[in-house]
Structure 1
Amino acid sequence: MDHGTVHTAVFHANGRKMSWAPDNKVIPNNLIPTAVTSAGKKKQQAAKEFIEKALPLKGDKTPPPVLVMDSLNNQNGSLRNALTSAFKALTCRYADDDDDDDDDLLETKVVPSSDRFLPSVIEASADGRTKAPTAGACGATCDIRNSPNRILKAAEKGNMAEFQRLLAADERRMQFRDSRGRQAIHHAASHDRINILEFILSRPNAELRPVDNEGNTPLHSACTTGAAKAIAFFIQHDPEQLECYNKENQSPLHLATQLNKVASLTALCDFKSQIDVEQKSKHGRTALHLACISDHADAALILLRDFGASPKTTCDNGFYPIHEAAKNASANAMRALLEFCESIGIPRAEMMKLFDADGNVPLHSAVHAGDLKAVELCLESGALISTQQHDLSTPVHLACSQGAMDIVKLMFRCQPDQKMGCLTCSDAQNMIPLHCAAMFDHVDLVNFLVDEGASLNATDKEGRSVLLLAAARSAWKTVASVLKLGADLGLQRDNQRRNLLHHIVLSGGSIEEFTLSLNDRLDEFIQLLNERDTYGCTALHYAARNGQLKSIQSLITLGASVNLKNNDNQSPLHFAAMFGRLNTVRHLLDSKKGHLIINEMDGQGKTPLHIASQCGHVRVVHLLLVKGALLHRDHKGRTPLHYAAMNGYNNTMDQLLAVHSHLLDQTDRDGNTALHMAAMKNRSSTAVNLLNLSCKITKNGLDMTPMDYALHCKHSEVAMAMVTHPIRSDEIMTCQVKAYGCLVEGLTAVMPEVMMTVLDRGISKSKMSHDSEEYFVKYSFTSLQNSETADVVPMTDEPLPVMNIMVRYGREELLSHPLSVKYLETKWNAYGMYFHILNLMVYTVFLGFLTLNAVQLMQDNKKRHHGVSGLEVADAFARPSIATLSSMTSVIVLSFVLFNVVKEAFQLIQQRTKYFVDVMNILEWTLYLASGLMALSQLTRTEEKSYQNIVAALAVFLAWFNYLLFLQRFNRVGLYVVMFLEILSTLLRVVMVFSVLIIAFGLSFHILLARVELSLKQPVLDARTGNVTFKAISLSDKGFHSPLVSLIRVGTMMLGEIDFLGTYLRPLRNLENSTWYQIVTATLFLVAFIILMPILLMNLLIGLAVGDIETVRRNAQLKRLTMQVRLHTDLERKLPKKILEAVDRTEMCIYPNQKGTGNIMWRTIKRWFGSPRNNVTSGGGGGANGKNLSKSFTQQIESNINEIQEQLSRQKDKIREISKNLELQLTLVRLLVSKMEIKSEAEELDEGEFNSANLARDTTEQLDGQTDVK
């Protein structure tokens, strides 16, 4: 087998022929195993021997062969498996044992074929991927030398010939990367292959600075392996790589230092002039920092001696290199650093005095690290153990906090003269080292420090001695040890006057264990039982607050008093009731003095029953009531029910009322009932509960009801719950409120959403199908009008009082509510429609005669007589003719005018100054005056004057305009009329604002065009003489000859009447030379005018009209509804009460699916002048299809809402059932625990609220107390 060729081992069936391709030489018989046709292990062994002899020896550079198995059937399956496994194992001999890269190993993959094994290829693949089987004749080959990894292998080995061959075959192989993202240049650099690097450099467009996955350049790779030649090569040819940082923000210098590559540092040192040794990596650390962190003494020494690194450079965290060495227990690096500094004249003592950002010297950092060698080196170098950092703690403080006995002993042994100073030195918390050891329960160290002379009576900033601090931190071993050392119990008090017993209870310690360890000092311990702190609390107060049952039992057994009170006059029973400690309450009440403390009051006059009710602890309340708690009042006259209602504890209220039902309507000193308190605090469920119990709705001493407080505080939830109460809502709606007089006005003014809910309750729907003819909607108007039984708005004779309140506060959403609309509809259909139709008909007659009279005014005046006698007028009515018809219409118009003048005069007397506020009154007066003058001019037969035509035109216009305003009272067209008036109002406001531009352009055009005359003359024919004269043409004829006319002309130009050709373009040809520039200037003004006025202003007006149409519609709807309310109010003032009583209805039912009855004419009249519901709901008629869609959509929504409500109701029932079952299971578990006598840590703690941090830390298993839920 020759080198450089690809060989294929071919095995034919039954082992009769084995050959190599392509030369196809037959293997000698001594290489053909004779046992290949045998079974079992012999067959496998024969296959293995064949491959071992066929493959070249290890070290041979011949590529591995490719094994082709041809025609191996199922009978030879074991042989096939043997060949496969042996071939895969033996091809590994072509992998280089010196290569440490996993991705360079050659892997053998097996390509499976069908059940009948067709010829298949088992290929040694460099990239780990299996190539497709090679079908066909034996001898198909795959060249492994073309593997992409071969170029990386050639770069590693420095095989220039192979590298050049691979690169010549495919230039892209230079960019090939391994699994770590390294290219050939990285491999050559890491293995110091200069020949490969020089060849890469010689190539055009050579890239010397590619980065791998970690951001390392080839120089980084060279520094990681100590490739000195490669380092020198890269610095010489690409020195900028020295400033390149990888993803860890490390330069080659940092990386070499961190990996302790001395050879790399030595190579870099040759180019130290180009290297900034102080360059910083992550966190601002220099290379010297990294050497000290990793304890690389040699690297640190090279950086200091050869590179000139400064030992006094700090990182971003404020640490010097020596601090990093001490903090990371790098004793070797620290020793090298100190020795070098000493060699350059920096004393070791000076290095030991360097402070970091926190004020730590190296000794502090060494103590933090806990390394004994580093501490010893610092002490040998002159570090003082009395050096204080910023918080005034010494290294001894730190060592004592860590419990480092060896370090403390070492420091005291090395510097005995500093020992007493350190033992008495205080930090910022005024703690000595003994405090630090005691607070972390380092009992052996405490004993050592006491033996060394530390004082047990030293106190910290809070006045705690060593004993008290240990007890406060739950360091029970230290407490026992300090007591054995003879600490004085009688003198142990902190700044809050708390003794040892206070701290034991607050920290959750066991008093029983302490009493057992204090046999000889028990009397001294008992003296602490009833001592009070600055708050007046004894240890029993805190035990009762935290629910520590065992401590309470121990304290009571030792003789603690249960009736001592604190500064707020609260006993331990008050504390237990406040935090819901049921068993604690039971223990205190079962004591000898329990019957004396059950009804004791605190500083506010509250008994334990008050406090338990205020906090909602139902079981505690029940226990107190069973034990005989009395219903006292506190200093404000409030009962426990007041406090339960104030905080919304319904179960507590039920518990109290079950025993003392007379509490329900009792008042405090201000006259407030429990319902008042619930309203003040917005407790809606509590208010409903009290109303269900039939509580009274009364006024307090300030004459305020519960609803007054709900309105005053804007508590919408409690107001909603009260006004929608299923039983007492009518009673609540009729109650008077102080601020508004009636509740309806208060809800409308402050809580319109609650009033909406009240109106919603007035609409009820049948439970039948929405498509059924029997389906109905019932409207109840009890919330909108006074009735015989109750007055919603008391003490008023005003018609429609509730609707007028809505109008007064501008509540469009309430006015447009379906109930309000239906209420107005009933009023309209009952009497409003008839009166307004009659009024419209009368006005229509007047409008007809007025129009006819105005038209007759235009007849030939010559046919008229100069006067009209009374006989002629009478004759005209008897035998009317064309000549006298004008006189008859004038008399009718004048009569109508006189009648309306009298009517308006009465209104003026009634309304006074308010009359002139309404613009419609001014318009009607103008109409009547103009109509009267026109009629009088007809009757007096005066000479024709121009003012008669003016008055007639004004009268006709105002009459028809007023007719338009009459139509807004009718529902079909009323909304559009009101929207028209809204848009008109907007237009007038906009025009008033932009009238400035109209004046500006009008005056400009007047100045420029008024006096411009053309050189041409226009022929003019004289009508008298028939002569033709020529008159000069002037631009003043275009409408700019006066300022006023110019303004009007600009107004018409806004509508598009610009006349550009006649006014601006043609005059340019016929102007004199002195005035042509005026036309040019006017043209420029015209361009600005076109941009600002017709384009910008008109689009603005269109945008306001279209874009704001919804707001316009809403405002128009409010104004139309407001107008309807006022019209009905005016009518009801004038109509007799008997008529109103006859037509008023308290409720009505609507059957929407039933067809209407009556003749066609009446249905048409009602459709046009009757029901307003179409306009209200949809803003106008939307067509039959739109109505049907809206109706079906509404029905679908209502159906979905009903279904959701049913589902929620079912879920609520399930949740209640689950809650009951859980309570039963909890009760059963408690019974099982008690019967089986299972002991747990939870038995030491009572149920209730756990607010103490220390208690929560020590408690892991607790049974939840039954606390009331708001």
Structure 2
Amino acid sequence: MAMIHDSIVKEDVVEHKLGFYPRIPADSIFTRENVTARTKLRAHLNTPLHLATMENKPNSIALLLSMGCRLSYNNLDMSAIDYAIYYKFPEAALAMVTHEQRAKEVMALRSDRHPCVTLALIAYMPRVFEAVQDKCITKANCKKDSKSFYIKYSFDALCPQLKMEDGNNVRRKSENVPKSQNIPLPALNIKYSFKFYQRSKLEVDALRLALNDPKYRPEPLCVINAMVAHGRVELLAHPLSQKYLQMKWHSYGKYFHLANLLFYCIFLIFVTVYTYLLMGSSENYSHTKKAAKCNLSDPMTFDRENKTEKNNVFNSDFESKVAMYTSTVAILAYNAICLIREAYNVKQQKWHYLVDPSNLVSWLLYISSTLMVIPTICNYFEEIQFSAASITVFLSWFELLLLLQRFDQVGIYVVMFLEILQTLIKVLMVFSILIIAFGMAFYILLSKVGPDETGHHLSFNSIPMSLMRTFAMMLGELDFVGTYVQPYYKSETDILLPFPMPTFFILGIFMVLMPILLMNLLIGLAVGDIESVRRNAQLKRLAMQVVLHTELERKLPAILLEKVDKDELIEYPNNKKCKLGFLDLILRKWFCNPFTDDAGLDLVLESSEDYITAELEKQKRKLRDISLVLEQQHTLVRLIVQKMEIKTEADDVDEGVSPGDTRVVPRWSSPRIRKKLRTASSFNK
């Protein structure tokens, strides 16, 4: 009981000093009655840090953390940082997560409401998390033009801590993150620490042991994906995030993605060569068949010509067949590998796999390419082979366009194209009602109608053809003279205009609604979407890189990721850079590597504008503190004057009227103004 009494007395003294109980005298804190009252009030187990956070007192929070206040949970299983996030107090949260000594402990707190402080800050307080990122960047205490000047990136406050489960008990544990090795990037002598963008091997082993699952793999890049999910462009564009993505790109991203692109380009070459040879083989086949029919009357002549032709084209025909069979084997092998990959993606993504339209394009490509090459194995030609070949060629080149969207310079245009395509499809689905309406009207007016079946317009002879012709007319292909004017004046031709008045009336309405109104609406929507895509270009570019690395880490084995991942890097900006490799040179010249070193250094090194902004912020903070101190002193002096009944010299008046008794005379009631107004009124009369 004595220990509880001493603990409560100490906390009451702290709370009284911090201003939580201003009405209670300091002497009354130590009485047993007050201790009992405090015990009842503290039944919810709120510590002084909880109270300071609820009152949004950043100075008190910093003082409590410096004094060694414990980071505990109340009976609602909420810590102080949980209350700061719940009540949206950025000052209180900033004081805790940027504290010099206790910031790591605060970021390691976990509760049922906020299992991860890092993810909660990204979702609700991005500015606070940006300050945490700024605090993680430290620079050498020397001149910036010195060769020993370095920039160190520490991610200690960014890693989502593990929530350990051992049986039925949930243990909150702040693990000490081990120091990693100094592994520089290949093109720069830089050192970064990526511990808090990814879990270390010790943390993953501990989580596997706690979950009793030796094959458990944590969700890759959960912090970066949270930034993408909440649209935090400023956090993704931060140097800390940029260097982390750059490390991923240099470690394994560029190798796997370029290998995938090269592998697909080989498949595309085989598809193109096969379709070219297919058309040549069909021409030879039709020519031979036609010659056989023509020379049935003269068998001897046909045999001599056939032998000569076979001798001339034997070599070229043999080479083309070898090339076709080689392309067939390559296409079937590629489809088999891709089917295994797609099955793995279905197992991982489940229903999300069906939502992605690019997967539908891939499956159509696999099916059409298989139908294209199967007749070659059976050694005969069919009409379905040529139809499948046309679809395969189109989809294969379109798939190449989709693969290029992962690269920075060309990818943003592909993303813009797909966004506009999606918008246009939505609009056309709505206004397809007008296309059907006009198509059916033109079908009735211009097809074979009447007892004599007049009309005979081939473009409107059937309902599907009429709809296609109406859609073409919407794009500007009206053919007004040939379709409407000549049949109206020249009745001797086969093409007639059976109902001229309704036809011209419907045509006039069509000209106003479709080519003018609808097309301008579509153009306006397209231009508006382009502007919105340009505004969000930075987020889209970074999101594509995050998606790329996330998909790769889900598919790659954990052993390989542990070997290629780097934990920390240190950058020496003033040292001479290493020469770029051949692969990096090609990427920068052709695809424009999304992570240029110069851009990264510009983000890190402070410019004059950033320096001025930081200094102005410091001055504002100092002025705010000075004004607060002056206000407190003014209040204190006023209370002293009232208590001691002190009168100032301004209250004493030697002679004349007291300043408080003076009456302000209106300006317009003075004798001089009245005289001027009287003169002006007499002049007007």
Query: Do both proteins adopt the same fold according to a TM-score greater than 0.5, normalized to the shorter chain?
Result: yes
Match of 1:857 in 2: 278
Match of 1:947 in 2: 384
- Compared CA separation, residues 914 and 888, structure 1 to 2 (3 A): same
Partner amino acid for 1:945? Answer: E
Match of 2:435 in 1: 998
> Which among 308, 328, 335 is matched to residue 897 of structure 1?
335
- For 1:721-751, what per-residue CA distance to the aligned partner results, in whole angstroms no more than 9, with x for missing partners? 2222233222211211212321122223333
TM-score scaled to structure 1, two decimals?
0.40
> Which among 671, 674, 678 is matched to residue 52 of structure 2?
678
- Compared CA separation, residues 1107 and 903, structure 1 to 2 (3 A): closer
> Which among 340, 354, 363 is matched to residue 916 of structure 1?
354
Task: Give the CA deviation at 1:801.
Answer: 2.3
- 1:771 and 1:613 mapped to 2: Cα distance? 46
- Compared CA separation, residues 1211 and 1122, structure 1 to 2 (3 A): closer
- Compared CA separation, residues 1064 and 1176, structure 1 to 2 (3 A): farther
**Structure 2 residue ranges without an equivalent (≥5):** 1-11, 162-174, 178-194, 208-216, 289-313, 647-685
> Which among 87, 109, 113 is matched to residue 735 of structure 1?
109
Match of 1:841 in 2: 262
Partner amino acid for 1:827? Answer: K
SS in 2 for 1:1046: helix
> Which among 408, 411, 425 is matched to residue 988 of structure 1?
425
1:796-875 equivalent positions in 2, closer than 5 A: 797-861=218-282, 863=284
Match of 1:1008 in 2: 445
- Compared CA separation, residues 1076 and 912, structure 1 to 2 (3 A): closer
> Which among 591, 612, 629 is matched to residue 1200 of structure 1?
612
- 2:376 and 2:417 mapped to 1: Cα distance? 35
**Structure 1 residue ranges without an equivalent (≥5):** 1-606, 640-667, 867-875, 1016-1031, 1178-1186, 1231-1239, 1246-1270
SS in 1 for 2:76: coil
Within the alignment, does 1:637 sit opposite 2:39 as a pair? Answer: yes
- 1:738 and 1:691 mapped to 2: Cα distance? 23
SS in 2 for 1:695: coil
Match of 2:460 in 1: 1040
Say if 1:850 and 1:893, in contact at 8 Å, map to a contact too: yes
Partner amino acid for 1:1007? Answer: I
- Compared CA separation, residues 1102 and 710, structure 1 to 2 (3 A): same
Match of 2:413 in 1: 976
SS in 2 for 1:632: helix
1:1147-1226 equivalent positions in 2, closer than 5 A: 1147-1150=568-571, 1156-1159=577-580, 1161-1167=582-588, 1168=590, 1171-1173=593-595, 1195-1208=607-620, 1211=623
- For 1:1147-1172, what per-residue CA distance to the aligned partner results, in whole angstroms no more than 9, with x for missing partners? 44556677743157444234255742
Aligned length: 558
Say if 1:612 and 1:621, in contact at 8 Å, map to a contact too: no
- 2:14 and 2:233 mapped to 1: Cα distance? 50
> Which among 369, 372, 393 is matched to residue 931 of structure 1?
369
Say if 1:768 and 1:775, in contact at 8 Å, map to a contact too: yes
1:620-769 equivalent positions in 2, closer than 5 A: 621-622=25-26, 632-635=34-37, 637=39, 668-764=42-138
Within the alignment, does 1:789 sit opposite 2:211 as a pair? Answer: no
Say if 2:116 and 2:160, in contact at 8 Å, map to a contact too: no
Say if 1:825 and 1:1170, in contact at 8 Å, map to a contact too: no
Match of 2:516 in 1: 1095
Match of 1:1061 in 2: 481
- Compared CA separation, residues 611 and 859, structure 1 to 2 (3 A): closer
SS in 2 for 1:982: helix
- 1:746 and 1:685 mapped to 2: Cα distance? 23
- Compared CA separation, residues 1155 and 1089, structure 1 to 2 (3 A): farther
- 1:1102 and 1:770 mapped to 2: Cα distance? 51
- Compared CA separation, residues 749 and 631, structure 1 to 2 (3 A): farther
- For 1:169-220, what per-residue CA distance to the aligned partner results, in whole angstroms no more than 9, with x for missing partners? xxxxxxxxxxxxxxxxxxxxxxxxxxxxxxxxxxxxxxxxxxxxxxxxxxxx
> Which among 494, 504, 518 is matched to residue 1083 of structure 1?
504
Say if 2:97 and 2:106, in contact at 8 Å, map to a contact too: yes
- Compared CA separation, residues 1193 and 712, structure 1 to 2 (3 A): closer
Say if 2:420 and 2:529, in contact at 8 Å, map to a contact too: no
- 2:363 and 2:57 mapped to 1: Cα distance? 58
Task: Give the CA deviation at 1:887.
Answer: 1.3
- Compared CA separation, residues 851 and 1241, structure 1 to 2 (3 A): closer
- 1:611 and 1:1057 mapped to 2: Cα distance? 85
- 1:1191 and 1:786 mapped to 2: Cα distance? 25
Task: Give the CA deviation at 1:1204.
Answer: 1.7
SS in 1 for 2:319: coil
- Compared CA separation, residues 1210 and 916, structure 1 to 2 (3 A): closer
> Which among 547, 561, 573 is matched to residue 1126 of structure 1?
547
TM-score scaled to structure 2, two decimals?
0.70
Say if 2:448 and 2:454, in contact at 8 Å, map to a contact too: no
* Structure with more helix by fraction: 2
Match of 2:213 in 1: none
- Compared CA separation, residues 1048 and 813, structure 1 to 2 (3 A): farther
- Compared CA separation, residues 1079 and 1224, structure 1 to 2 (3 A): closer
- Compared CA separation, residues 1193 and 1152, structure 1 to 2 (3 A): closer
- Compared CA separation, residues 1059 and 765, structure 1 to 2 (3 A): farther
- 1:862 and 1:976 mapped to 2: Cα distance? 40
- Compared CA separation, residues 1226 and 812, structure 1 to 2 (3 A): closer
- For 1:59-91, what per-residue CA distance to the aligned partner results, in whole angstroms no more than 9, with x for missing partners? xxxxxxxxxxxxxxxxxxxxxxxxxxxxxxxxx
Partner amino acid for 1:1202? Answer: A
Partner amino acid for 1:891? Answer: V
SS in 1 for 2:104: helix
- 1:846 and 1:1138 mapped to 2: Cα distance? 30
Task: Give the CA deviation at 1:922.
Answer: 2.3
Say if 2:150 and 2:573, in contact at 8 Å, map to a contact too: yes
SS in 1 for 2:265: helix
- Compared CA separation, residues 1217 and 746, structure 1 to 2 (3 A): closer
Say if 2:146 and 2:574, in contact at 8 Å, map to a contact too: yes
Say if 1:781 and 1:1146, in contact at 8 Å, map to a contact too: no
- 2:409 and 2:343 mapped to 1: Cα distance? 32
- Compared CA separation, residues 688 and 1034, structure 1 to 2 (3 A): same
SS in 2 for 1:1057: coil
- 1:824 and 1:815 mapped to 2: Cα distance? 10
Task: Give the CA deviation at 1:927.
Answer: 1.0
SS in 2 for 1:701: coil
Higher relative contact order (CA 8 A, sep 6+): 2
- Compared CA separation, residues 911 and 1225, structure 1 to 2 (3 A): closer
Say if 1:972 and 1:1175, in contact at 8 Å, map to a contact too: no
Task: Give the CA deviation at 1:766.
Answer: 6.5
- 2:499 and 2:605 mapped to 1: Cα distance? 67
- Compared CA separation, residues 1225 and 1099, structure 1 to 2 (3 A): closer
- For 1:1058-1086, what per-residue CA distance to the aligned partner results, in whole angstroms no more than 9, with x for missing partners? 111111222221249xx868333322322
